[in-house]
Each structure stands twice: as C-alpha cells, then as structure tokens.
Amino acid sequence: MERIPILRMGEYLLVTIQVDMYDQLAMTLQDDLTNCINKNSSRGVLIDISSLEMVDSFIGRMLANISSMSRVLDAETVVVGMQPAVAITLVELGMSLAGVKTALNVEKGMALLQSAARVDFEVDGADD
Amino acid sequence: MRTNSIDNKKCAYSFSSHMASTQLAELIVKNKKSLLDTWASEQVNVFSKQGALHSTEVKTQCSDFLDALSEGLKKSDTPFFQNAAFDPLKEVITSISKSRALQGFSPSEIALFIFSFKKPFFTLIQNEFKATSQTVASEILIVSQLIDDVGIYSFEAYQKTREEIINRQNQDLLELSTPVVKLWDGVLALPLIGTLDSARTQVVMESLLQKIVETSADVAIIDITGVPTVDTLVAQHLLKTVTAARLMGAECIISGIRPQIAQTIVHLGVNLGDVITKASLAEAFKIAIDKSGLVVVKKSLIKH
Amino acid sequence: MVPTIKTADHPLRVEVDIVQARHLVRKWAEQLGFGIVDQTKIVTAASELARNTIVYGRGGEMQLNALENGARKGLELIFTDKGPGIADLKLALQDGYTTGSGLGLGLSGAKRLSNEFEIFSKVGEGTKIIIRRWK
C-alpha cells in the first residue's frame, strides 16, 4: 500500500505531500501521523503542501483533522506552502480551515512551530 | 397540380442558378487580371492612422479573394454564402478583416474593400452577357446578394478582432492599475483605487497572493481609501482575499476605512470577523511592523 | 445548443478514477487556455462531483465537452449515475448538508466554483449534474 513518508527531525515530524492525494492515501496519512506523534512524543508536525495543485473538501478535512488530532496529542501542526490558486479555490469552495495554523514556507513554518513549543515550555516553567 | 408547378419553378431556379454560378466562376477565372486591376485601383486612396495600405498587400488579398470566390461559385450547387463551398472564401475574408482591424483601419474601409468589387464585376457581367438581358439580370441579382453577405461577414470578422483587442487592453489596464508595493521586508501594501467589480477583484486577489509568495511577505495591507463605495459584494471579495492570504500563512490588514464606509459595513451586516481594520495606512503600517517583530526607534535614543 | 468541438467519457467506479478524472480535466482546461486559478477551480469542482458520483451515486461516469461559443471557449463536465437519486435538491444544495460522512460542501461548492451549474435527479433512477466554466 502506498504511503506518504513521514520524516523525523528531532521533536518534529515533517511530511511533504508530492503525489496526487486520493482518499485512501489521506486516511492512511492521518493514521500514520497520529501513531508517529504518539510514538515519538513529537511537539510539532509540519505538512508541506507546496506541490499540491488541488485541495478539495476531502483533503481539506484531512488537514483539519490532523491539526485537531495532533493538538489532542499535545503537538502543533502547521500547514505550509499553499499555492495561491489553491487558496483562492478553497475559499470559494467554502473552506476556511479556521483551526489550522499556516505558514508561507518550511522555514517560517518551523519558526512558528518552535515559538509555539517555546510558549508552552515557558508556561509550564512558570507554574513550577 | 399547383404543387407541381411550384416544384417545377424551384427546380428551374436551382438549375439556372447553378448554371449561372458556374458561368460566373469561369468569368472570374478568365478575366482575373483585368478584374484585379480595376478593383485594386478603386482602393488606392485608402488611408488609416497607420498610413496607406501597401498596394502589393491589397493585390494579394484581392487575388486570394477572387480565387476563393470562383472556387466557391464553381463548387456550390446554390450560390448562397451559407453553402459550405464558400468556407475557403470565409477564411480569406476573416484573415483580411483581422489584419485590417489589427492595423487600425476603420469599419468603412473594410466595407470599401468588399463593395468596391461590385462595380468592376457588374461591368464585366454586363459586357459578357450583352446579348441576353434576362441572364444579366439574374446573374447580377445572385452576385449582389452574395457580395452583400460577404460584406456583412467581413464586418463581423472585423468586429470580433476589435473586441479581442479591447479585451486585451482592458486586461493590461487592469493589471497596471493594481500595483502591489513593498513597504518593508515582509510587508506589502495594495492601494486600491476606483470601483471594484467582480473581474477586477479577481485580478487584484490573484496579484496580491502571487506577490505574497514571491516576497515571502508576512503582512499585506489592503488600503481602500481610493474606493468610493463598498457594497456587500466588495466586502465579500475583500473577506475572501483575506481568508485566502491566511490559508497561505500571511495576514491582511484593511486600512483606509472612512466613516461612511464603516457605517455601510455595519448597515449591511457584513461580519469582518477578526480581520484587523485601521482608518489609515500609517496606522496599519505600525501594526504590520509590530507583527514582523520589529521596533522603530529614534536614532538619538540609541546608545552608540 | 453550443457547439462541442471535442468530447470524451471517463468512468467513475473506484477511487483511483477520481485522480484520473482530475488529471483529464486539468489537461483539457490547460489546452483550452484557462488560467491557473480557473483550472484549479474546475479541477476541484470535478473532484467533488466525481467523489459524489462514486460514493453516493454508486458509480457512474464523467463526460468532458470542449465548447466554443463564438470567440469564447468553455469546458463542460457532465456527471451521471444510476444511483438512488436525490429526493430534496434544495436541501442537498445547502452548505453542510450531507447524508454521509462528508462535509456537505460537494454540490454547493462545485456550484460556486463553476460559471454554470445544472442538476437533474430522480429518486430511484439516478442523477445528472452539468457544470461549465468559460474562459
């Protein structure tokens, strides 16, 4: 079965979607990511969709789901690199992906993830 | 009995008109050179903003026209322009009309090209069929109708080209009038001026989002000081742009909201959600700088 | 009737057909000279409707038609299935309404993403959806 590879970079997971997303692949990715976050106690997930030329409601929902599920597992998710045409189309379609954090590219996405992790750490520290 | 005579009349007409067409076709082929000379001379004084038509160009076009016309007359069973046999003629006319339109000639000049053909051709027919006036009349009738149809077709082809030119110019104008400027590293501004219709807003949206990617901007300030009216449609378009930018990871601030516009937005019940709005571009810029993690300090306050 | 200058059919039976359908629509839209945004819009609409055809319509097919109306070029997609049909079209076209586990944005979304949208459905017989995008 085809799967999208998940790379581990320390406390973060990196997913680069470069193939056509069909429904089964999306479902598998959701499961795989949840398992990975759990296994590695990851703090954050970066999903690079800069190669995706189309995001429909199914894929959009997958991104929203991954975002919510990771948060439950105490990890933040950032989706990076959405193409302008895709963004315009998603909005027209009626999806705003309100709960999903986004960034323009991998660097900014990582910076966002790290600052989010830092905030959590500081808050925890203050409680002690 | 009556039906019979009508059918006969129909048959007789089509037989004679087919014969007439072939005769006309032969006439054109036989007298091509003299036709060309007299026809071209009728058009010598044609001017346009771009200057006079080149005579060799005119001669080639006339020649192509005559060839296609005689071919069409020969091949068609009815001398009507709608007949498929005249498709090559249609192509010749389309290309001539197109080139004239692109060169900036006026519609009457296109008409001149076609209708100036009538005189030399009718004269030719009269001279050829001097003997039988009956034949002359019917031939001329056929030809006149055909040339009128050709004239109309050429005008339509010309119109189409003009429209394409105008559309292209509109597009260029649209792109020119929506400049996206960089105010600072990672801060873009889009000063909108004039009315925002659906087409323009699409172009504006795409251009802004593209620039955000190109400059890796974090913040885009959309300034609507120069937009006279904001109705529900405009507000929706603005919201869509802001949402799309957010999906890409950039934030938008809308500035230049005059008191009247603020009132309109409230009246219309438009929900701007959590989009940051500021009255002036300056205030929006301050926020943008802050969001970029920057601070502006007076030089005199910095210890060296 | 707007003249069709090219036509093709594509089956929609299994999931992988959706991906192929997207590719086909993208290719045709590109060839017709659509800009990248318009291409993405119609490909996304096709993806939604193709999924609907398979998931709710129990399989069917997509027909592509390249149209020409004077100087304007257009792409027409027709999705047909012989599935259960839609009882309440008005309800089905509302954002968020779904009889399955989807988001309910398929039909309404495809409508928003297209210049023209027509839907015909009869319970027990099937559904036919036509969308068009003009250049």
Could you write out the DSSP letters of every residue in B114-175?
A: HHTTHHHHHHHHHHHT-S-HHHHHHHHHHHHHHHHHHHHHHHHHHHHHHHHHHHHHHHHHHH
- Quote the pLDDT of residue B12: 40
- Quote the pLDDT of residue A121: 57
What one-character DSSP code corresponds to residue B230?
Answer: -
Nearest C-alpha of chain C: how many angstroms from B298? 45
Residues of B in contact with C70 (CB under 8 A): 160
Check C40 against A24: CB less than 8 A apart.
no
Nearest C-alpha of chain B: how many angstroms from A1? 31
Report in angstroms the alpha-carbon separations of C116 from A56, B84, C113, C130, C132.
19, 33, 9, 8, 5
Report in angstroms the alpha-carbon separations of B265 from A29, A96, C110.
43, 21, 29
Using H for helix, E for strand and C for coil, what is the string for chain A? CCCCCEEEECCEEEEECCCCCCHHHHHHHHHHHHHHHHHHCCCEEEEECCCCCCCCHHHHHHHHHHHHHHHHCCCEEEEECCCHHHHHHHHHHCCCCCCCEEECCHHHHHHHHHHHHHHHHHHHHHHC
Nearest C-alpha of chain A: how many angstroms from C59? 16
Check B247 against A80: CB less than 8 A apart.
no
Calpha distance A62→A86 (Å, rounded):
15
Check B209 against A84: CB less than 8 A apart.
yes
Q: Is the pLDDT of residue B24 over 50?
A: yes
B42 token code pair: 């009728």
Section B147-162 average pLDDT: 86
Beta bridge partners of A45: A13, A77
Out of C37, C47, C95, name the one closest to residue A88 (CB).
C37
Residues of B in contact with A46 (CB under 8 A): none
B33 token code pair: 């050179």
User: Tokens 């903003």 sit at which residue?
Assistant: B49
Residue B45's pLDDT band, with cuts at 50, 70 and 90, is low
Chain B CA closest to residue C38: B202
What tens digit of pLDDT does each residue of B180-200 get?
A: 999 999 999 999 887 777 777
Nearest C-alpha of chain C: how many angstroms from A90? 9
Check C105 against A94: CB less than 8 A apart.
yes
A25 token code pair: 């692949």
Give the residue from C47, C95, C133 with the most A CB atoms within 10 Å of its CB, the best one to mutate.
Answer: C47
Chain A neighbours (≥3 Cβ pairs under 8 A) are B, C
- Nearest CA among B290, B258, B291 for reference residue B277: B258
Out of B209, B213, B218, name the one closest to residue A88 (CB).
B209
Buried b (16+ CB within 10 A) or exposed e, A70-96: beeeebbbbbbbbbbbbbbbbbbbbbb
- Of A1-5, B112-116, C131-135, which gets the smallest average pLDDT? B112-116
- Phi/psi of residue A92, each to 5°? -65, -35
Residues of B in contact with C71 (CB under 8 A): 160, 163-164
Section B8-20 average pLDDT: 50
- Would an 8 Å CB–CB cutoff place B164 in contact with chain C? yes
Nearest C-alpha of chain B: how many angstroms from C33? 15
- Quote the pLDDT of residue B18: 64
- Radius of gyration over every alpha carbon of chain B, rounded to an integer in angstroms: 33
- Would an 8 Å CB–CB cutoff place B286 in contact with chain A? no
Upper half-sphere CA count for residue C133 (Cβ side, 13 Å): 27
pTM assigned to the model: 0.72
Residue B304's pLDDT band, with cuts at 50, 70 and 90, is low
Nearest C-alpha of chain B: how many angstroms from C100? 27
Question: Is residue C51 helix, strand or coil?
Answer: helix
Q: Give the residue with greater pLDDT, B206 vs B129.
A: B206
- Quote the pLDDT of residue B52: 59
- Would an 8 Å CB–CB cutoff place B214 in contact with chain A? no
The tens place of each residue's pLDDT in chain A, 128 residues long, gives 789 999 999 999 999 998 888 889 999 999 999 999 999 999 999 999 999 999 999 999 999 999 999 999 999 999 999 999 999 999 999 998 988 999 999 999 999 999 887 665 555 554 44
Which of C98-104's residues contact partners 24+ apart within 8 Å by CB, and which partners?
C99/C56, C100/C55, C100/C56, C102/A57, C102/A58, C102/A61, C102/C51, C102/C55, C103/A57, C103/A60, C103/A61, C103/A95
Report in angstroms the alpha-carbon separations of B123 from B24, B33, B45, B61, C40.
13, 15, 21, 21, 60
* One-letter amino acid of B98: K
What one-character DSSP code corresponds to residue B4?
Answer: H
User: Mean of the per-residue pLDDT values for chain C?
Assistant: 91
Q: Is the pLDDT of residue B20 over 90?
A: no
Report in angstroms the alpha-carbon separations of B151 from B145, B156, C52.
10, 9, 51
CA A89 to chain CA centroid, nearest Å:
19
> Which of B8-17, B42-51, B288-297 has the largest mean confidence?
B288-297
Check A53 against C106: CB less than 8 A apart.
no
- Quote the pLDDT of residue B54: 66
- Would an 8 Å CB–CB cutoff place B248 in contact with chain A? yes
Contact A116, A81 (CB under 8 A): no
Helix (H) / strand (E) element for B111: namely helix B107-115
* One-letter amino acid of C91: L
Check A96 against B247: CB less than 8 A apart.
yes
B290 token code pair: 């802050």
What tens digit of pLDDT does each residue of C39-52 get?
A: 999 999 999 999 99
Chain C neighbours (≥3 Cβ pairs under 8 A) are A, B
Give this complex's ipTM: 0.90
Residues of A in contact with B244 (CB under 8 A): 84, 87-88, 90-91
Is residue B94 exposed (0-12), middle (13-18) or buried (19+ Cβ within 10 Å)? middle
Question: Is residue B94 helix, strand or coil?
Answer: helix
Check B164 against C70: CB less than 8 A apart.
no
Check B248 against A82: CB less than 8 A apart.
yes
Give the residue from C37, C38, C115 with the most B CB atoms within 10 Å of its CB, the best one to mutate.
Answer: C37
Q: Is the pLDDT of residue C77 over 70?
A: yes
Residue B119's pLDDT band, with cuts at 50, 70 and 90, is confident
Report in angstroms the alpha-carbon separations of C101 from A43, B120, B160, B189.
30, 77, 50, 42
User: Mean of the per-residue pLDDT values for chain B?
Assistant: 81
Q: Please count the residue pairs, one from chain A and one from chain C, whose beta carbons lie less than 8 angstroms apart.
A: 67
How many other β-carbons are positioned within 10 Å of the β-carbon of residue B131? 8
- Of B114-123, B207-216, B235-244, C45-54, which gets the smallest average pLDDT? B114-123
Section B119-130 average pLDDT: 81
Contact A78, A43 (CB under 8 A): no
What tens digit of pLDDT does each residue of B250-293 get?
A: 999 999 988 888 888 888 777 777 788 888 999 999 999 998 88
Question: Is residue B279 helix, strand or coil?
Answer: coil
Chain B neighbours (≥3 Cβ pairs under 8 A) are A, C
Calpha distance B191→B177 (Å, rounded):
9
User: Which chain C residues touch B if contact means CB-CB below 8 Å?
Assistant: 37, 70-71
Chain A CA closest to residue C44: A56
- Quote the pLDDT of residue C41: 97
> Which of B45-54, B90-99, B126-135, B169-178 has the largest mean confidence?
B90-99
Residues of C in contact with B243 (CB under 8 A): none
